[in-house]
Amino acid sequence: MKARYMDHIVDHGNILDDVKKGKPVVWMNPDLKSFEEVEATLPLSGPDVLDADRNWSRLAPLLSQLFPELAHCEGRIESDLVDVSSMLEALGLRADAGAILVKSDHSLPVAGSIKARGGIYEVCMHAWDLALRKGLLSATDDPILLTGEKCRAFFSSHGIAVGSTGNLGLSVGIAARALGFNAIVHMSSDAKKWKIDRLNNIGVDVVQHDADYGAAVDRARNVAELDPQTYFVDDERSELLFLGYSAAALHLKRQILDKGIVVDALHPLFIYLPCGIGGAPGGIAFGAKQVFGEHVHCFFVEPVQAPCALVQLMHGLDEPVSVYDFGLKNTTEADGMAVAQVSMFVARMMRNLVSGVITVQDDDLYRWLYLAKKHQNFQLEPSAASCFAGPICLNKSECGRKYVQDLGLDHGFENVSHVLWTTGGDLVPSESFEGFYMRGKELFQSPGN
């Protein structure tokens, strides 16, 4: 059977109407500028990304000690880059649709999602900073000393709080507890039960809110502000999170070189990043622009009912807007992306750097989740599967084809390398995954998919 996803996408110039109706769209950013032009206007720069990478290296021995699963990879929290071009046909694409590579953050060690890059980085950097300021170690000491008795005792009288739809809570909670902090995770109503159970099991204090992600973050921030011993990981504003994510681009570059993949004007890299609050995709896109400059093109992917980055970028940045303002519901099975209002910090960083935004329906997430398991044995969560929309939507939409034409690519997508960033899935319990898989299989086999 031939897959025919997204064949219904046509560009009739009135994207906002489709957005409001909850239909999938491909939106090209009219404010996209060359990186050279934009770089100097941004609050963060190339050296910040290099610093983050250096910090990760310095933290590596500590991380190996805290998490034995990192011993075989020298304490680096990294994922494989896998060529899945053999899936082109299953995805309903032609052989000349470009190479398809998966950046497998669904199997990132320790936290099983892209949030390991941000959450673990911020928690470790905070612990390091706290210990330095208290004089428990000196600037030249190896941060592995943070596992010493004195530091642990000190951290046990301090808290780390975060608001989350699930995965950031997992990553921050796991790192905070491993270092001996008290951890408080405020969960939105989207949070899956297994994520909450897992946190409870390692002694994290989970507060469940009957409210959306933005409200959970606000409450977490308010509670943390009242307690000077508690540090708040602010998913909506944190530069540390953003930079922790950004370092991924340097590793990606090494992987691309190792695979002998050329990236230049005639062989561009297109990266598709599932987007919630924006920190993870924004940080990685920012890092990728530092590393690949004009030759990388970053697209965010969002659920049709929660396209918060899309509505903000379409609206302009003078005031924050939410998907509710556009009559949308912020309901989706992609819990990692159930965010109604994008981070304004990220929106400002991305305004001129993101090439476009693609929106997806939940049913398609399950179909791709099924295909990724069947063809590659990947275990994805629904949010992570959204990146499969990337090469499909660009190849099949008029605006996508025009985008590559405007790059001067005579052979269309043939020489494009598509990088699909699969953001999470490894920790999903097998019973839940089996349910996702069966649902995807049924949807895939139902007529008219």
Ligand X SMILES: *Cc1c(COP(=O)(O)O)cnc(C)c1O
Binding site for ligand X (CB under 6 A): 113-115, 167, 274-281, 336-337, 381, 383-384, 423-424
How many other C-beta atoms are found inside a 10 Å radius of the C-beta of residue 213?
A: 33
Give me the least distance between CB of 185 and ligand X, in Å please. 14
124 versus 428: smaller Cβ distance to ligand X: 428
Question: Which residue has tokens 């275990």?
Answer: 379
Q: Closer CB to ligand X, residue 122 or residue 158?
A: 122
Nearest to ligand X of 62, 384 (CB atom): 384
Rounded CA gap, 61 and 70, in Å?
9
Cβ proximity to ligand X: between 231 and 272 the closer is 272
The Cα–Cα gap between 188 and 186 comes to: 7
Least distance to ligand X, CB of residue 406, Å: 27
Q: Which is nearer to ligand X, 268 or 391 (CB)?
A: 391
> Which amino acid is it at 428?
V
Nearest-approach distance from CB 216 to ligand X, in angstroms: 13
Cβ closest to ligand X, residue 146 vs residue 365: 365
Least distance CB 269 / ligand X (angstroms): 20
Cβ of residue 365: shortest distance to ligand X, in angstroms? 11
Residue type, 276: G
Q: Which is nearer to ligand X, 281 or 400 (CB)?
A: 281
Q: Cα separation of 352 and 413, whole Å? A: 23
Which residues, in sequence order, are bridge partners of residue 35?
Answer: none
Q: How far is the CB of 357 from ligand X (least distance, A)?
A: 12
Least Cβ distance, residue 51 to ligand X (angstroms): 20
As a whole number of angstroms, the distance between CA 85 and CA 88 comes to: 6
Structure tokens at 307: 């396209």
Residue 16: CB minimum distance to ligand X, A: 22
For 442, residues 6+ apart whose C-beta sits below 8 A from its C-beta are: none
Using the minimum distance from each CB to ligand X, give the nearer residue, 98 or 424. Answer: 424
Contact predicate 307/324, CB 8 Å: no
The least distance separating ligand X from the CB of residue 331, rounded to whole angstroms, comes to 16
98/416 Cα distance (integer angstroms): 5
Q: Residue 143 or 303: which CB sits closer to ligand X?
A: 303
Q: How far is the CB of 377 from ligand X (least distance, A)?
A: 18
> Rounded CA gap, 63 and 47, in Å?
23
**Which C-beta is closer to ligand X: that of 48 or that of 235?**
235
